Amino acid sequence: MQNIPFRLGWLVLPLILLQLFFSGSQTPASSFKLVMPTSVLHKDSSLSRAGSSTKTWYKNSVIYTLDVEVFYDSDGDGVGDFKGLTQKLDYLKSLDVDAIWLAPFQPTPNKDDGYDISDFYGIDKRFGTFNDFSEFISEAKKQDIRILMDLVINHTSDEYSWFKASRKSKDSPYRDWYVWKSKRPANQNKGMVFPGVQKEIWTLDSLTNEYYLHRFYDFEPDLNAQNPEVVAEVEKIIKYWLKKGIAGFRLDAVPFYIEVPQTKGENFEHEYNKLVQMRNWVKEVRPDGVILGEANIEPKENMNYFGDKGQAMNMMFNFYVNQHLFYALASGEIKSLTKALEATKDIPQPVQWAQFLRNHDEVDLARLSNSQREKVYKEFGPDKNMQLYDRGIRRRIAPMLHNQKRLALAYSLLFSLPSTPVIRYGEEIGMGDDLTLKERESVRTPMQWINAPNAGFSTASKTVRPVISQGEYGYSHVNVKSQEKDPSSMLNWVRQLIHLRKSNPHIGQGDWKILDSGSPNVLVMQYQWNGSGLILIHNLDEDAQKVEIEAKDAGGDMLFDLISKRQNEANEKGLYQFDMPGYGYAWYRIGNEPVLPNKQD
């Protein structure tokens, strides 16, 4: 791989002239640069905002997720902070993201990277003050960027004052804020979230000689959501942060928050009405506020979490499609991916899926069959050190795919699936991972800004987590500054792909169906919205594929290439014919209109 490991000459992606893309040639990276037609480069707000409305703004948006701790350090103490994040808002605006999802930033002993919260109402002093936070919120608003925050209410840190009071005495007023049992539960070693690392979900506490429940680590005791006092406190927390300027929440561990604790088995009952209740709390303060749920569930459960009329969570991560997407990338076959898409298709109109390639955790493959999982392991995480919790892979997407064309394909798929795309910080420049770090910390290294000590993240002699400095993903090869100067870099490609996605609201707003491509390796999706349509084609195989689509199925006898600005007509047999190169993909608008009709839904 080259020193700059993402050259668009190698990628042959659909943001260059189409004849170069479809040629399938092995043109050296230095032989040509990214070429974008003026009409694509021009940022027309009527296009990028088309189809959005205040209450469903998320449907034609892009979400960027980051951890303040490792994004940018403004004061040289080795830890990222809100002042540093504020200084980088112009960069985030240049990506044209609509919302930033922040990892937990409240006070914490930091045994679980901030997810062990010790004060729901505070700011971790390492990240700055409330004034710093408020300034960040104010400046983000000026940039028209909404801020979402992690809402971690399934559990607290064992150092939270509530738990300290709870464990002191069985008569403590905070005793029932957590879940206690006098006898050893039968399911003590069942249902662990982190198998292989976590040994139990009930731990005997020495002070009162009773067991407390913790679905996660033993230093993260579960709150008792059956207790009305706890529920009232959760409402208070939600409204507190909304009034501070937060636009919504990424709700952590949704199934565990709404489950009814039991001492037998590992399949607990769930109280889905709690999600409707939470949604109403949000709407009381902010009608356009959102709840984005983390719920790795089967398709048959979707309506329980969205609500039959969309009255529960606004959005939910589509873990089911994500897992089958990775199998499709590993195998080159689309069958399981198309089944997963169809299985998650029917959801209420107001809600939306959120799709991602990588998040801050492992690539979870638990819902694949054993043979499918082994295929993904073999392709993307063959070493045991790359695998985690007996179900996933703890790597970033660039080193995992380690193939520029396949990486380009993966990102085109991300932006073309019926969902709101979510991008993890550093993915836009192709950052790597550090497998010497424990568990999920391998993908949580500091952002790489420039080719300078600590990648420009901090001037400290020691950073909160090591910066990747060696190998092809070291900051001398992968950093924002060098890619901003290079028109053919991954960063500039992602910027254009975001604009392409947002200029076509069909994907987030419209109706869709999968067309027969005549190949087990090529996914063809058709979108319809406001009298306009799209045809998106992706070849997941490394070998070239011939594709035929009937004009009557495509929805018209003319396709307009959104990249090369050329028309593609069906032949005399009423067929569109495409020679798709290995890992090739293309975006077409149905008809001969180069510009999207400016209609609002």
Specify whether the CB–CB gap between 146 and 101 falls below 8 A.
Answer: no
Catalytic residue from among 73, 294, 427, 561: 294
Q: Kindly report the pTM of this predicted structure.
A: 0.91
Specify whether the CB–CB gap between 292 and 101 falls below 8 A.
Answer: yes
DSSP 342-358: HHT----TT-EEEEES-
Which pLDDT value is given to residue 22? 32
Which pLDDT value is given to residue 601? 36
Which pLDDT value is given to residue 3? 36
Which pLDDT value is given to residue 53? 62
- 180-181 and 210-213 beta bridge pairing: antiparallel
Catalytic residue from among 81, 252, 379, 428: 252
pLDDT level of residue 42 (50, 70, 90 thresholds): very low
pLDDT level of residue 267 (50, 70, 90 thresholds): confident
The 10s digit of each residue's pLDDT in 176-210 is 999 999 999 999 999 899 888 899 999 999 999 99
Cα 569 to Cα 551: distance, rounded to the nearest angstrom: 9
Higher pLDDT, 32 or 445: 445
Specify whether the CB–CB gap between 68 and 103 falls below 8 A.
Answer: yes
DSSP 198: B
Say yes or no to pLDDT of 41 above 90. no
Which pLDDT value is given to residue 266? 84
The 10s digit of each residue's pLDDT in 326-339 is 999 999 999 999 99
Say yes or no to pLDDT of 55 above 90. no
Question: Which residues, at least 6 apart from 464, have a Cβ–Cβ distance to it below 8 Å?
Answer: 69, 70, 78, 79, 80, 446
Cα 493 to Cα 428: distance, rounded to the nearest angstrom: 9
DSSP 388-417: ETTTEE---HHHHH--HHHHHHHHHHHHHS
Cα 512 to Cα 341: distance, rounded to the nearest angstrom: 10
Which pLDDT value is given to residue 380? 95
3-state secondary structure (DSSP) of residue 87: helix
Cα 8 to Cα 408: distance, rounded to the nearest angstrom: 9
Count CB-CB contacts under 10 A for residue 307.
20
The 10s digit of each residue's pLDDT in 202-250 is 999 999 999 999 999 999 999 999 999 999 999 999 999 999 999 999 9
Across the chain, mean pLDDT equals 89
Bridge partners for 590 per DSSP: 533, 559
Say yes or no to pLDDT of 48 above 70. no
Which pLDDT value is given to residue 18? 33
Say yes or no to pLDDT of 594 above 70. no
Count CB-CB contacts under 10 A for residue 504.
27
3-state secondary structure (DSSP) of residue 240: helix
| 68-77, 264-273, 589-598: range with highest mean pLDDT | 68-77
Cα 385 to Cα 395: distance, rounded to the nearest angstrom: 10
Which pLDDT value is given to residue 592? 62
Mean per-residue pLDDT, 411-428: 96
Instruction: Give which of 193, 280, 182 is closest to 231, Cα–Cα.
Output: 280
Integer angstrom CA distances of residue 46 from 1, 51, 59, 355, 415: 39, 9, 15, 24, 19
Annotated active-site residue 333? The verdict is: no
Annotated active-site residue 200? The verdict is: no
The 10s digit of each residue's pLDDT in 386-403 is 998 889 999 999 999 988
Which pLDDT value is given to residue 17? 33
Which pLDDT value is given to residue 29? 24
Cα 534 to Cα 559: distance, rounded to the nearest angstrom: 9
Mean per-residue pLDDT, 554-565: 85
Integer angstrom CA distances of residue 574 from 553, 554, 560: 10, 10, 16
Which pLDDT value is given to residue 362? 86
Share of the chain above pLDDT 70, in %: 90
Mean per-residue pLDDT, 144-170: 98
Cα-to-chain-centroid distance, residue 116? 21
Mean per-residue pLDDT, 264-289: 95
Specify whether the CB–CB gap between 146 and 99 falls below 8 A.
Answer: yes
Integer angstrom CA distances of residue 271 from 214, 267, 276, 277, 292: 18, 13, 10, 11, 18
Which pLDDT value is given to residue 385? 94
